[in-house]
Amino acid sequence: MSTVDLTGQVALVTGGARGIGSAVVHRLAKLGARVAVLDLDAAGAHRVASAVGGIAIAGDVADPATMPAVVEQIEKEFGRLDVVLLNAGIGGGQTGVDDALDVDRYRKLVGVNVDHVVYGLCAAVPALRRQGGGRIVITASLAGLTAMPADPLYTLTKHAVVGYARAAGKALAGDNITVSALCPGFVDTLLLGAAKEEFNSVAFPLLTPSDVAEALQTVLAQGEPGEAWTIQPGGRVTAYDFRGVPGVGGGKMPPEVVLGRI
């Protein structure tokens, strides 16, 4: 595990009241950061923030007004922002394939899993620029790198944020802002729901939230712009090796296309 010193730095964790978010809050505080905990669960956010001497903020991450207001509050409270973990997320709750689509539930899913990431990154970037740079990590999933037929809509959202992290990472690298995605396998959190019993019945190994927090520490220490990092039980946290996109005649995609010049 790589070490990183966050003494004097300020971090924001969305969805920080439980599970991965809570474990990350404790890890960041242990590394020296002052942490702001954002969650829809006000009591949970307060409980976690109090344990590390941080601040709790209640808010709906899917509301476009929330993330700018949160960043503004953090800068007023601490004078800076250096590290952002856009971690809040929910499950699909419907297949989106062979049943009648519940549009309200679908919009909530996209609002939390995708929109909040965009709102959060756009709100954080000006604050990070004022510090000369910083780090943004998006909690994605292995479902962002491969198909998860049990939940196609969740898969859709996680593919979206992995793609966003890869592109935004390259776009912001010149500002000394490193954007990465963290893609854990199945983690023992409430998000598993009833599926946890199925995993237990076949002795399927699950990651713990602490495993993911430890992986995040490695990403903060070693991550390069636009990378997606994976972690599985018993495995080493690793930057995923994406295949290149073929260009004309099977060659590599020209840099002019990749950079958006044509």
Mean residue pLDDT of the chain comes to 90
- Name the pTM for this structure: 0.91
pLDDT bin (cut points 50, 70, 90) of residue 192 is low
Mean pLDDT, residues 64-93 taken together: 96
Distance CA 178, CA 119 (A): 17
Is 154 one of the annotated active-site residues of the chain?
yes
Q: Report the CATH fold assignment for 10-258.
A: Rossmann fold (3.40.50)
pLDDT bin (cut points 50, 70, 90) of residue 243 is confident
Q: Which residues of 70-100 are buried (b: 16+ CB within 10 A; e: fewer)?
A: bbebbbeebebbbbbbbbbbbbbebebeeee
pLDDT score recorded for residue 100: 86
Q: What is the DSSP letter of 224?
A: -
- In this structure, the number of other CB atoms found within 10 A of the CB of residue 176 comes to 14
Q: Over 90: is that where the pLDDT of 203 sits?
A: no
Contact 85, 14 (CB under 8 A): yes
pLDDT, tens only, 210-222 = 999 999 999 999 9
The torsion of the CA quartet 56, 61, 64, 69, rounded to 10 degrees, works out to: 10
Alpha carbon separation from 131 to 11, 71, 80, 103 (Å, rounded): 13, 13, 7, 40
Closest Cα to residue 58, out of 88, 84, 28, 103? 88
- Which entry of 119, 154, 164, 240 is annotated as an active-site residue? 154
Contact 142, 184 (CB under 8 A): yes
Q: Over 90: is that where the pLDDT of 24 sits?
A: yes
Listed ranges 137-141, 200-204, 245-249; the one with the highest mean pLDDT: 137-141
pLDDT score recorded for residue 133: 98
DSSP 136-191: EEEE--GGGTS--TT-HHHHHHHHHHHHHHHHHHHHHGGGTEEEEEEEE--BSSGG
pLDDT bin (cut points 50, 70, 90) of residue 245 is confident
Distance CA 140, CA 105 (A): 19
